[in-house]
Every structure is written in structure tokens, then in C-alpha cells.
Amino acid sequence: MPATDLDELVGRAREGQPRAVARLISLVEDSSPRVADIARLLTPYTGNARVIGLTGPPGVGKSTSTSALLTALRSAGRRVGVLAIDPSSPFSGGALLGDRIRMTEHATDPGVFIRSMATRGHLGGLSWATPQAVRVLDAASFDVVLIETVGVGQSEVDVVKLADTTVVLLAPGMGDGIQAAKAGVLEIADVFVVNKADRDGAEATVHDLKQMISLARRELRGPSWRQPIVRTIASKGEGATEVVAALDSHHTWLTAHGELARRRSARARDEVEAIALRRLRAELADLRDGDRLTDLADLVVARELDPFAAAEALITDLRGY
Amino acid sequence: MPATDLDELVGRAREGQPRAVARLISLVEDSSPRVADIARLLTPYTGNARVIGLTGPPGVGKSTSTSALLTALRSAGRRVGVLAIDPSSPFSGGALLGDRIRMTEHATDPGVFIRSMATRGHLGGLSWATPQAVRVLDAASFDVVLIETVGVGQSEVDVVKLADTTVVLLAPGMGDGIQAAKAGVLEIADVFVVNKADRDGAEATVHDLKQMISLARRELRGPSWRQPIVRTIASKGEGATEVVAALDSHHTWLTAHGELARRRSARARDEVEAIALRRLRAELADLRDGDRLTDLADLVVARELDPFAAAEALITDLRGY
């Protein structure tokens, strides 16, 4: 794609044309050789979107909650981009995943953009492609970027690194699920949402969480954010407005305490480092494909060089690029 | 440790003093800052040991087979170093693992050195520490280095990358075990050993293997090694001499076909590349700890730089070291 076409594409994305946004995300997600150019063109228009991470164990009603939250955010007049990350799927692109069909109610709303992203098989996974996609949505003037992870485990941790605010969804009666989630969940959650609040055990879940939060706070020093617990019944849209209010409170707190700048700086550090490491790895791979590594390896086999000295020579070559 | 002490330690290891060998392995395994010096000092004395990998699913009698093979190799007058790799254990060092107690019959033999190595938690795992330990044993004049992996899966693949000859152990009546092993096993095995050959189903296992080998050979081009199948009853020491003969045949074949040089060159390539990548990663981590990455990240947050340009600047710094 010639540079002028890229300029035009970025222009159209900034006007909010969904096809241009989708095309740009496809380009950055597939690590197109133009990904650096795209980032350069987009960067001046970024920094305005609030990035919200939404995670939780399977079965808590994440899709329904995302949909309810979307409705509430739209009622508040905000344009919302959604990135639904599915670490288990090798398929990516504009197509909606099965349980995301419910989101079709937003499909015709020009203030909403929904995108599924697969991370399986992608080098660097979530942590590589997602910040690039967030940048596209940010530059395309979405006020909020919602990153929803379908999975659990590593993706939960990764989503926190990308988000200004992380929402952890729980539901009553999850038994072991909530137990397993507990360990990591307290550290990553800025806002807790207990969905299916009309079900048996909802109050017990809230009570459990309150105790965990109190215990954890005793170990903290300095000013800290008191994680709110919001009860929702996402299937009826109940509580979504309160979730938006909690998100706004957290944003205010983040800004007032310099924590937003700190989080965004940390995020930028992670991203810059990941790009640098990926680039170095690619350069090493080039050397591997070439004769130089083979020549060095043969010297090692011949005992004329030890492998550390050979690695040193390889790095010297890399620096001499 | 001053350089002269290191020289002396290497000298004592070359004389076959087990405590010096053990100490050197501890140093390289823990990624001591002297690991490059140690490799440099050892390299001139290496290249003579034959490296044998021994792997197979749990329950095939791997420890007993290693012990029987050790006895047979010792009878043939060869000095043998054993590295027992346990990917599941966080504990490393000279202590013998539980089921390795049987090897104590070799404990007083100065021609035998046995070492358990844990790989869990080690950066780079097996593929990093093991070649360093192999180098120590090689320089300490062991004729054969046996690498035994306790686990299955990735460690099987890794062991192949390190060995001149890979022995895959199987046993009758393993049901799903053998089925699961089948897929990867054919590609990695140079010699098959069917242990517990006096048990029901042993002949069926041999027959199965023969069929697999025949089928696989049809897809091969060029001269190839016909994987032998050796029947053993390791608990009685039966068949161990035949295993040694199969190993010798394979070594002769490797040498005659230039395959030994090819395998050792590939191994050296892997090692050099791994060392280079580890070193670059460490340098990036240094930059991360310093102010430079933070400064660049802040420029990214301020939208004065896009993250790709920042990564570029970081790499430029790295090269300017």
C-alpha cells in the first residue's frame, strides 16, 4: 500500500468510517510492514480514549455485561470501541464470535465499533496486537475503548497492563471458580461487578469480596483506591449506569493522584520494550538464515571459538547493521 | 572467584575429580557471571564425548534402563557422565532423585558421574543449562554423556537437539501412553528400546513400531538410518549390551554420512543464538531499569514519539553500548 493510500485510510478512520477502522486494525494485527508507519500517523491523534479492561471467569455473563455497559455508555453520549480478545481462537477479524451475537443490537450504531481479536498463534499474543488496535480506536475518536477478554489466566494479567481501569466481573454460585479467581483478582481489579445479583448467593459473594478488600487494604501503604463493588443484572440492564459511575469515579481518582500518567507511562514502556525485543529477535533470525551464524557455529564445533565468544561476535554483527 | 581459582578448578575437573566437576556444573547451571569464562576454558578439551539422549513416557523403566546401560558401558571401559533432567522439579544439584536411588550401585565408581538437574524456573530451561553441563562433562574426559529426561513433551524435543543419538524407551501395555508418544517419537528416535520385553504385549509393541518405521521410511528421500528396535529387560540387565552395540552402529553411521558434523553444527547454532538472545534481553532489561526507557515512554505518552520510533531509539542505544 503506497503512503498516500495509508494517509487517506487514516483520514477516513479519524472521520469514524468503520470500514477504514477495521482495515487499519487488520493491518496492525497482522504485523503488516506498515505497522510502524501506521503508529506514526495515528500517534498525534491519540491519548484521549479511556481504556477499560473487562475480565472475569467464564460463566459470569461477560458478553451480556459488555452489551449492557455499551448501552449505558451510549446513553451518556460516548462513542465506544470494543476489542473482544479470545485467546483460544485462531480466528480473527470483523466476524462476531458465537456468544457475541447479542451485541448485534449495537451493530447499526455508528458510535459503536466491535471487533473480535484472536491471540492464539500470534507472536507476542495479546500484548503485541492489542495496543496497536487500541491506538487505532483512540485515533478514531472513540471516547472509550473496552477490552474484553474471554479467557482467564494470563490474559487477565495482560489486559490490566493495557487498561486505565480494570473491571473484574464475578457472579454468585461459581464455587471453585471464584476461589481460583480470588488470588489474582484483588490485585488487578479497580472495580468489582457482581453480576446476576438477583440470584442466590449474590450477597455472600459481595460479602466475601468486602472481606478480601478489607484484608488487602491493611497491607497497603499510602493513598489507595477503595475498589467499589457494583451489583448488576446485566440481562435486564440493571446496574450498568452504576458501573459507568464507578468507572468515572476511578478515572477522576486516577487523574487526581497522578496514577493515570503513571499507568500510561508503564504501558508505553512495555510497548516500546516489546517492539524493540521483537525487532532484535527478527534481526537475529535474519542472521540465522544467513551464513554468519552457521560460520560461527562451525568455529564452535571446531573448538576455535567458545559459544559465548561466538554469541558476542553475532551481537557485534547485529550492532553493525 | 578469581581467574586463577577457575583455572585450577577446570584443571581438577579435567583430572576427573568429581567434586570439581560438580562445582563447575553448579556454576554454569546457575548462570554464574563466570559462565562465559568457564566455557572458554573448557572448549579446547571438548568434542570427544558422545552425547546420548534417553527419553520416553513415564513407567517404561527409564532409571533402571539408564542404570543397566551404565553397567554395560562401564564393562566396555567407557567413562560415563549422566545428566538426569527433571523438568518438574525446582530442586537441582548433586542429590539423587527418589527413583534414582537404584543408581547408587554406580556411586562409588570413579568412571561414573551422576547429576540431577532441575529445569523448572530456569530461564531458558533445559536448553540453556544442559549444553553448559554437557561441556563440563565432555572436558572432564567422559567418553559418553547420557542425558536422561524424566518428563515427556517439550523436554523430549529439547533433548534431541542436544544429543548425537536419541534413544526412545517404550514398554508393552502402556495403552494410551504409547499412542500419545507415537506422533512425535518416530521423528526423534535413533534407537528404539522396548523394555520389559518379557511381559505380555512386548511383541505387539515391537510389531507396532516396525510398522510405524516402515510407513515413515516410505516418505523419506536419500540415505537414511534404519532405526533399530532393541528388546531389553533392564531389571535383569538383559539387552543392555545390545543397546550399546546399537549406539555404536548409529555413531558409525553418523560419522560416515557427515550427519554427526551436521548435528553438532546445528547444536552449536542453537546454543550461540540462545546465548545471544539471552544477552540482548539482559541488555534491554538494563535499559529498562535505567532512565532511558522511561524517558522514551514519557515521550510516547506525550505523543512526541510513536512507540516504534521509541523502540528504534532504544535499539540505537543498545548498539552504542
Which residue from A178, A216, A181 is spatially nearest to A196, judged by alpha carbons? A178
Higher pLDDT, A54 or B282: A54
Tell me how crowded residue A278 is: count the other CB atoms within 10 A of its CB.
15
Our count of domains for chain A comes to: 2
One domain for residues B192 and B297: no
Q: Does B282 touch chain A (CB under 8 A)?
A: no
One domain for residues A87 and A183: yes
Best probe of the A interface among B272, B295, B317, by most A CBs < 10 A, is: B272
One domain for residues B219 and B290: no
Q: List B residues 162-181 in contact with A (Cβ-Cβ < 8 A).
A: none
Question: Which chain A positions have a beta carbon within 8 Å of B312's beta carbon?
Answer: 279
Say if the Cβ atoms of A288 and B269 lie within 8 Å.
Answer: yes
One domain for residues B158 and B286: no
Q: Which of A2-6, A227-231, A291-295 has the highest mean pLDDT?
A: A227-231
**For A55-94, b where at least 16 C-beta lie within 10 A, e where not — what string?**
bbbeebbbbbbbbbbbbbbbeeebbbbbbbbbbebeebee
CB A117 within 8 A of CB A147: no
The residue from A205, A232, A257 where one domain ends is: A257
Say if the Cβ atoms of A303 and B46 lie within 8 Å.
Answer: yes
Q: Does A273 touch chain B (CB under 8 A)?
A: yes
Contact partners, residue B88, CB within 8 Å, separation at least 6: B120, B150, B151
Over its C-alpha atoms, chain A yields an Rg (Å, rounded) of 22
Interface A:B, Cβ pairs < 8 A? 150
On whether residue B241 sits in a domain, the answer given is: yes
The residue from A257, A283, A310 where one domain ends is: A257
- pLDDT above 90 for A156: no
Model confidence band, residue B157 (pLDDT cutoffs 50, 70, 90) = low
Over range B248-264, report the average pLDDT: 94
Query: What is the rounded distance in angstroms from the CA atom of residue A244 to the CA atom of residue B216?
Result: 61
Best probe of the A interface among B34, B303, B308, B321, by most A CBs < 10 A, is: B308
One domain for residues B167 and B285: no
Nearest to B308 among A275, A281, A305 (CB): A275
Say if the Cβ atoms of A300 and B268 lie within 8 Å.
Answer: yes
Phi and psi torsions of A152, nearest 5°: -125, 180
- Helix locations, chain B, DSSP H: 3-14, 18-29, 35-42, 62-75, 125-139, 154-162, 176-188, 202-218, 240-256, 259-289, 291-301, 307-319
On whether residue B36 sits in a domain, the answer given is: no
Nearest CA in chain B to A292: B269
Say if the Cβ atoms of A296 and B261 lie within 8 Å.
Answer: no
Residue B174: give its domain's CATH number: 3.40.50.300
- pLDDT above 60 for B98: no
Tell me the pLDDT of chain A averaged across its residues: 82
Parallel/antiparallel/unpaired status of strands B191-194 and B165-170: parallel
Q: Does B47 touch chain A (CB under 8 A)?
A: yes
- pLDDT above 80 for A240: yes
Best probe of the A interface among B300, B312, B321, by most A CBs < 10 A, is: B300
Nearest to B311 among A261, A265, A275 (CB): A275
**For B247-273, b where at least 16 C-beta lie within 10 A, e where not — what string?**
bebbbebbeeeebbeebbbebbbbbbb
| β partners of residue B192 | B168, B229
- The shares of helix, strand and coil residues in chain A, as percent rounded to the nearest 5, are 60, 15, 30
| Portion of chain A with pLDDT greater than 70, in percent | 79
Q: Note the pLDDT tens digit of each residue in B274-298.
A: 888 788 777 777 766 778 888 888 8
- pLDDT above 70 for A101: no
Model confidence band, residue B99 (pLDDT cutoffs 50, 70, 90) = very low
CB A53 within 8 A of CB A166: yes
One domain for residues A182 and A297: no
Q: Does A282 touch chain B (CB under 8 A)?
A: no
**For A186-213, b where at least 16 C-beta lie within 10 A, e where not — what string?**
bebbbbbbbbbbeeebbeebbebbeebb
- Which pLDDT belongs to residue A195? 95
On whether residue B40 sits in a domain, the answer given is: no
One domain for residues B189 and B54: yes
One domain for residues A18 and A53: yes
Which residue from B146, B143, B116, B122 is spatially nearest to B25, judged by alpha carbons? B116
Say if the Cβ atoms of A40 and B309 lie within 8 Å.
Answer: yes
One domain for residues B252 and B289: no
Question: Which chain B positions have a beta carbon within 8 Å of A301's beta carbon?
Answer: 47, 261, 264-265, 268
Query: How many angstroms separate the CA of residue B233 from the nearest CA in chain A?
Result: 37
**Residue whose cell numbers read 534413544:** B167
Question: Which chain A positions have a beta carbon within 8 Å of B294's beta carbon?
Answer: 265, 269
Higher pLDDT, B189 or B106: B189
Over range B243-259, report the average pLDDT: 96
Phi and psi torsions of B53, nearest 5°: -95, 140
- Which pLDDT belongs to residue B180? 47
CB A175 within 8 A of CB A71: no
DSSP code, position B225: -
Tell me the pLDDT of chain B averaged across its residues: 82
One domain for residues A148 and A283: no
Say if the Cβ atoms of B279 and A319 lie within 8 Å.
Answer: no
- Annotate B104-125 with three-state secondary structure: HHHCCCCCEEEEEEECCCCCCH
Which residue from B117, B135, B126 is spatially nearest to B39, judged by alpha carbons? B135
On whether residue B209 sits in a domain, the answer given is: yes
What would the grid cell of residue A302 be? Answer: 571446531
- Which pLDDT belongs to residue B95? 38
Q: Does B197 touch chain A (CB under 8 A)?
A: no
Which residue from A191, A277, A300 is spatially nearest to A240, judged by alpha carbons? A191
Say if the Cβ atoms of B280 and A280 lie within 8 Å.
Answer: yes
Higher pLDDT, A125 or A250: A250
Query: How many angstroms separate the CA of residue A122 from the nearest CA in chain B?
Result: 19
Is ipTM strictly over 0.95?
A: no
Higher pLDDT, A30 or A228: A228
- Which pLDDT belongs to residue A231? 97
On whether residue A266 sits in a domain, the answer given is: no
Question: Which chain B positions have a beta carbon within 8 Å of A265's beta carbon?
Answer: 294, 297-298, 301
Residue range of the domain that includes B250: 47-257
What would the grid cell of residue A249 be? Answer: 469515579
- Which pLDDT belongs to residue B281? 75
- Which pLDDT belongs to residue B248? 97
One domain for residues A246 and A279: no
On whether residue A315 sits in a domain, the answer given is: yes
Q: Which amino acid is at B6?
A: L
Q: Does B268 touch chain A (CB under 8 A)?
A: yes
Over range A134-154, report the average pLDDT: 84
On whether residue B173 sits in a domain, the answer given is: yes
Model confidence band, residue A178 (pLDDT cutoffs 50, 70, 90) = low
Query: How many angstroms separate the CA of residue A261 from the nearest CA in chain B?
Result: 8
Q: How far is CA A9 from CA A3, A16, A83, A118, A138, in A?
A: 10, 11, 20, 23, 15
What would the grid cell of residue A140 be? Answer: 478514531
- Which pLDDT belongs to residue A191? 95
Query: How many angstroms separate the CA of residue B97 from the nearest CA in chain A?
Result: 31
The residue from B257, B289, B304 where one domain ends is: B257
| Portion of chain B with pLDDT greater than 70, in percent | 79
Query: How many angstroms separate the CA of residue B30 from the nearest CA in chain A?
Result: 16
Q: Does A290 touch chain B (CB under 8 A)?
A: no
Nearest to A307 among B268, B318, B321 (CB): B268
**Residue whose cell numbers read 531389553:** B232
What would the grid cell of residue A68 be? Answer: 449492557
On whether residue B125 sits in a domain, the answer given is: yes
Query: How many angstroms separate the CA of residue B305 from the nearest CA in chain A?
Result: 8
Q: How far is CA A243 from CA A92, A224, B288, in A?
A: 29, 19, 36
Phi and psi torsions of A190, nearest 5°: -100, -30
One domain for residues A195 and A67: yes
Say if the Cβ atoms of B268 and A303 lie within 8 Å.
Answer: no
Q: Quick one: which H or E segment has residue A169? A: strand A165-170
**Residue whose cell numbers read 507396532:** B208
